[in-house]
Structure 1
Amino acid sequence: MMSKRFALTSLSVVLALGLTACGSNAESNSAGSGNSKEGEKTKISYWTGDRHDAEFVKEKVAAFNETNTDGIEVELVVKGDDFDTALDLSFQTADSPDVIRVKENTIGTFYKKEYLAPIDEFLTDPLKDKFPAMDDLNTFDGKRYSLPNYGTTMRLIYNKDLFAKAGIENPPATLPELVDTAKKLTEAGKADGAYGFAQNFKNPPSALGRSSRVIAELSGFGGFGYDFKTARFDFSGFKPIIETFKQIKDDGSMLPGVESLDIDPLRAQFAEGKIGMYLSFSSEPGVYSTQFPAKIDWAAAPAPTIDGNVNGASGFLGGQWLALSSKSKHKEAAWKFMEYMYSDAILTDYQEKGFGISMVPSISAAAKTPDVKGIEGFLPNAHDGVWPVYPTVAPEGMKSDDAFFKYMLNGGDLDAVITDLNKRYNAALDDAIANDGLKAEPDPSFDPAALGGKFAK
């Protein structure tokens, strides 16, 4: 799903943790069992693309390195938007990680590329009961490849100070209101360098995956252009959404330079009060608590819909977290680290510190509501729900996010763009069904509005 047509600057940070004098020159334990001789270390690596919880994970990894009695030493590697590309390259060499952070939009791809090893042999009955198995999200062909930690909701994040300055009482609930609100915020803030709206368009799939997706899903359309009723791709539901984003940019209500804006620089600008609104995930409260302490009063509200009517559900994203690499030579040691990370203490701490909303029933029932500014706006409501997994295809030519962003920049005939996308994506779908064993069957009774509310307390 990540575009390879746009240059992605690596923000990779390698954090070598818990190094000891005896481990610096020791050879790895080739048995991979986690047991080590005196003075030896079993070294494994964990790769993640998450940055919002990097300090939290760094602390937990350091604690594991200091306290485990199996001689296991974990190297944490935090990468940026080049995560998928870097992982692909690592599997072509001998440098692939032992443990991989997987997400709802990557685990299926990694599974098909045979990057992942099943974890069933390590799962006890209590672990199977504790962690929900979710088809096509952590379970494939009857085998589990990951366990859930937290789910992610999507919201409109807004600058309450700038709203007050512009005399706006409520966040927008419709697309026309989004355009009007962005314009008024810009008029009120432009003298101080503040603009009404922004997204991280350096990476169009990341930008639209946190903005147009949630608007489409709440409005009743598949967030990736796939219609589950007909089992065909149909991007027509995105037309008013993309037109709205283009209008905001044409009005001058969008932060200048969004073409090269990554998500962390966007967050830094928002924390400084330079952005009125943007759409993103429930990781943001943790970001503004620790990574970029907010200098403004801010809050989160439900994303707008096309016309104010909620005909679907905002995707409650999750079902997976850590996975075991198929190329790991130390699978047992890697599992011991995974088991540690999936402990009640860490999962509870993860939610209570505001990094995510647990999808593990026993944790969500016991964990306290995070005492983190802004988290209340992200808690699951009646319109949050888990969508089915759409089929991933590889169309010839430009991907949908890149095509939509090109239209936003250059204009043109959006109807023609959508017609072309439908043609190419459905051709790729038919090819995958015919040649790759992909299954995609119509579900005429599918009701997106019925997906919501299952996770609300």
Structure 2
Amino acid sequence: MWKKMTAMVTGLAVVASLSACGANGGADNGASNPNPAGGSGSGKKITLNYWTDDRHDQQYIQTLVDQFNQTNGGIEVKLNVLSDNYNQSIDIAFAGNQAPDILRVKSGNFLDFQKKGYLAPIGDYLNADSAMKQKFAGTLIEGANQIDGKIYSLPNTGQTLRLVYNKDLFAKAGIQNPPATLQEMVDAAKKITAAGKAEGAYGFALNFKSPLGAMQRSVREILSLSGYQGLGFDIKTGKFDFGPTSQVIQAFKQMYDDKSMLPGVETLDIDPLRAQFAAGKIGMYLSFATEPGVYKDQFPTKVNWAGALPPTIDGKVNGTSEIVSAGTWLGISNNSQNKDAAWKFLQFMYADNVLTTYHEKGFGIAVVPSIAAKAKKPDMPGMDGFLVTKYDSLWPVSPTVTPEGANYGDAFMKYMMTGGDLSKVVSDLNTRYNAALDKAVQAGSVKVKPDPSFDPLKLQGK
């Protein structure tokens, strides 16, 4: 599967490539003398700080960290799990010279972290470990985990996105199947609320405390399955166009106006949302393949729930649901004074037994070919609905830009809450995002090539 994904991504015309910046010059390593064995050789204990925003796998990762600490006497790793404002916390840490040694890297922050010089290239370390180099040889993708040939992270799993729904609440409302269209989703949310409101159950919710995050775990998948790039970028024209996005936002606004959303959704974060779903108070929401692990370990539930493909705008599947965070997992801080030791920890974390167990426990879908070939199907309630189908694939890498003013998550959230002229919201977003894109292209930090022949239907089965 990964070879097909690699060929598809590298062959597509839209590539967002950010120029490398940092203190390492042209060397493709994070230290002047890469030593995969790790450690400084002085006998002094080395402490490594490892930051992540993943909560669904926290218990397993902590177990691995404890195991590493017990078997590598000269190195101690300290795990720090941040639930809110992870990217902002990383920015503050680097600005204050308090950056962690090891970072969780995702598709949504990789290009930004690399551009800001946060990540140390690991190519020389990988070249010194022939077995590891061979294992990941087919998984290195420009714009996904390497920039200008410099490698900054390696993959573990990818995340499919699904509609997560409470079967019991659906049945109580007389709904037999998950919604296939936006209108069906709006109608289902209204019926579930009418049937369950007396017991405090509502039809729909999202983590609108972080509007952009909420959009990226929901609108994104509805659009990509409908045949549109999920982050507002038009691959055919090489420009941003939030017109398709507005159709999904209109449906969200209707659910909000119908009072079909959980009260207080405006300030709801993802973990409180999950707790409410586990308690049977939410009929449906959209999220990643992390959810089965969440409801097994973090918020154990007796709710009869499942995952299903998201609805599309009109019921037609004109594209695929995007597999996200498939190219990266862990990275070494460019500011770390202990890069050799950090690489030793990465070697431990990227070992076959760790990656295989990660998949089999249901924390993500394995994308490393040798792991995917031997790993067993995850034995976890709800995981069947998140497994890769012909309607899941990677999409071309979308350019990352920072517009002046509100981002599209905040702008659409404001419209949902207060109303207004949606066409003007779209026009304003298109103007500001394309101005930022033009500026980035002129500065050489982003490369964009329109692909008028792009056909999202051809992604199916890749």
Letter in 2 for 1:53: D
Match for residue 95 of structure 1 among 93, 98, 102: 98
Q: For 1:432 and 1:146, how far apart are their aligned partners in 2?
A: 24
Structure ranking higher on relative contact order (CA contacts 8 Å, 6+ apart): 2
8 Å Cα contact 2:289-2:383 kept in structure 1: yes
Give the TM-score of the pair, scaled to structure 2. 0.90
Give the TM-score of the pair, scaled to structure 1. 0.91
Determine the structure 1 residue equivalent to 2:413.
405
Q: For 2:377 and 2:114, how far apart are their aligned partners in 1?
A: 34
1:282 has 2:276 as partner: no
8 Å Cα contact 2:38-2:344 kept in structure 1: no
Determine the structure 2 residue equivalent to 1:232.
239
SS state at 1:387 partner: coil
Q: For 2:445 and 2:81, how far apart are their aligned partners in 1?
A: 34
8 Å Cα contact 1:218-1:305 kept in structure 2: yes
Q: For 2:352 and 2:295, how far apart are their aligned partners in 1?
A: 25
Q: For 2:396 and 2:77, how far apart are their aligned partners in 1?
A: 34
Deviations 1:1-52 (Å, cap 9, x if unpaired)? xxxxxxxxxxxxxxxxxxxxxxxxxxxxxx99414555x3111111101111
Determine the structure 2 residue equivalent to 1:210.
217
Match for residue 119 of structure 1 among 116, 119, 122: 122
Q: For 2:264 and 2:445, how far apart are their aligned partners in 1?
A: 43
Determine the structure 2 residue equivalent to 1:53.
57
Match for residue 111 of structure 2 among 108, 111, 124: 108
Q: For 1:269 and 1:304, how far apart are their aligned partners in 2?
A: 22
SS state at 1:364 partner: helix
Distance 1:428 1:165, change over 3 A: same
Unaligned 5+ residue runs, structure 1?
1-30
Deviation at 1:164, TM superposition (A): 1.2
1:363 has 2:371 as partner: yes
Deviations 1:285-319 (Å, cap 9, x if unpaired)? 00000000012110011000000001111111121
8 Å Cα contact 2:157-2:365 kept in structure 1: yes
1:276-425 paired onto structure 2 within 5 Å: 276-317=283-324, 318-425=326-433
8 Å Cα contact 1:386-1:452 kept in structure 2: no
Match for residue 263 of structure 1 among 256, 260, 270: 270
Determine the structure 1 residue equivalent to 2:206.
199
SS state at 1:117 partner: coil
Q: For 2:246 and 2:111, how far apart are their aligned partners in 1?
A: 28
Deviation at 1:435, TM superposition (A): 2.0
8 Å Cα contact 1:36-1:42 kept in structure 2: no
Deviations 1:389-440 (Å, cap 9, x if unpaired)? 1111111111111100000000000001001110111111111111234211
Q: For 1:77 and 1:355, how far apart are their aligned partners in 2?
A: 18
Q: For 1:378 and 1:277, how far apart are their aligned partners in 2?
A: 15
Number of corresponding residues: 422
Q: CA RMSD in A?
A: 1.3
1:156-195 paired onto structure 2 within 5 Å: 156-195=163-202
8 Å Cα contact 1:220-1:311 kept in structure 2: yes
Q: For 1:80 and 1:36, how far apart are their aligned partners in 2?
A: 36
Unaligned 5+ residue runs, structure 2?
1-34
SS state at 2:307 partner: strand
Deviations 1:244-287 (Å, cap 9, x if unpaired)? 00000111111110011000000000000000000000000000
Match for residue 148 of structure 2 among 138, 141, 152: 141
Letter in 2 for 1:134: I
Letter in 2 for 1:181: A
Q: For 1:452 and 1:57, how far apart are their aligned partners in 2?
A: 33
Q: For 2:279 and 2:56, how far apart are their aligned partners in 1?
A: 18
Q: For 1:65 and 1:305, how far apart are their aligned partners in 2?
A: 47
Deviation at 1:239, TM superposition (A): 1.9
Q: For 1:297 and 1:291, how far apart are their aligned partners in 2?
A: 17
SS state at 2:95 partner: coil
Determine the structure 2 residue equivalent to 1:130.
135
Letter in 2 for 1:383: Y
8 Å Cα contact 1:312-1:449 kept in structure 2: yes
8 Å Cα contact 1:351-1:358 kept in structure 2: yes
SS state at 1:74 partner: strand
Letter in 1 for 2:406: M
Deviation at 1:127, TM superposition (A): 2.0
Q: For 1:205 and 1:139, how far apart are their aligned partners in 2?
A: 25
8 Å Cα contact 2:144-2:328 kept in structure 1: yes
SS state at 1:178 partner: helix
8 Å Cα contact 1:155-1:302 kept in structure 2: yes
8 Å Cα contact 1:314-1:452 kept in structure 2: no
8 Å Cα contact 2:38-2:343 kept in structure 1: no
1:79 has 2:86 as partner: no
